[in-house]
Amino acid sequence: MTTPASPRRVRCPTCGALAVYDATNPWRPFCSERCRQIDLGAWASEGYRVPSAPQPAEGEEHDPPPPGARH
């Protein structure tokens, strides 16, 4: 069997360095554990800041759609 001469590499999303993208790199697609932690931390801090969209009160009815408007 032939194997690729060079391992697949990707750009580390955090620092931009080339990171080996295969089973030998447990932090893929990052280049190191540090970069992985940095990215996860940034993602989590943003992800938890979900803006609360105003929800219409239940039971509040607006104009009903005209008959025949629906597909």
Binding site for Zn ion (CB under 5 A): 12, 14-15, 17, 31, 35
Q: What distance in Å separates the CA atoms of residue 21 and residue 30, rounded to the nearest whole number?
A: 8
Instruction: State the nearest-atom distance from the C-beta of 19 to Zn ion, in Å.
Output: 6
Q: Which is nearer to Zn ion, 28 or 48 (CB)?
A: 28
Q: What distance in Å separates the CA atoms of residue 31 and residue 17, rounded to the nearest whole number?
A: 7
Q: Which is nearer to Zn ion, 18 or 44 (CB)?
A: 18
Q: What distance in Å separates the CA atoms of residue 14 and residue 8, rounded to the nearest whole number?
A: 18
Instruction: State the nearest-atom distance from the C-beta of 24 to Zn ion, in Å.
Output: 16
Instruction: State the nearest-atom distance from the C-beta of 50 to Zn ion, in Å.
Output: 28
- For residue 63 the two structure tokens come to 């104009």
